[in-house]
Amino acid sequence: MAYNACNAIILEIDPDLSAAEAHGMATGILCINEQASSDTWIAELKANSPTTVDNDESILVRLFDETKRLLNEDEFEFDLFLPNDDYDLGEQTEALKNWCRGFLYSFGTLSSTTVYSKDALEILRDITEFTKLDTAVEGEEDEAAFVEITEYLRSAILLLKAELMHNNDEINA
């Protein structure tokens, strides 16, 4: 799915959001409730929007559904929805920061008073720290660090989701 197309739709809905932040929100929602529908996410995206954008909603639904599918697979295919390598590293880093903000927003808004493990709390602290990344980046060393952070986040989100689903299964048992 093309980042630019989704970003244009998101910006039309809310100029203060980006596709990366919106995807972070979707991921946070799905980590809390793997059965959540795209309606919940889209309603959240439109919460502060004075306009309605219904004609491009199918693209957003596809993004949400694809995210849901990848999070629920046993394969390690889930990825953050960020601009590709054609973008400047600083722009990619800004998008990563926004993704983390979106994730933390949804996660914090929807999570219950569940007691999290030490590992889960560490992941959440790390994601919070990633919202403070410096976007004045360039060069191979910064690019390697960016790749390392995104790979960490991919793994960390899957671990966090697995823990939350395990906790939910125990509560519902």
pLDDT for residue 171 is more than 50: no
Residue 51 or 79, more confident: 79
Residue 167 or 56, more confident: 56
Three-point CA angle 165, 168, 171, nearest 5°:
155
pLDDT for the residue numbered 55: 58
Mean pLDDT (whole number) for 101-126: 85
CATH fold of 3-172, please?
Answer: Four Helix Bundle (Hemerythrin (Met), subunit A) (1.20.120)
pLDDT for residue 59 is more than 50: yes
Reported confidence tier of residue 168, pLDDT bands at 50, 70, 90: low
Reported confidence tier of residue 70, pLDDT bands at 50, 70, 90: very high
What are the start-end ranges of the H helices in 14-72?
19-32, 38-46, 57-72
The reported pTM is 0.91
Average pLDDT of the chain is 88
Whose CA is closest to 24, among 91, 76, 94? 94
Mean pLDDT (whole number) for 75-96: 93
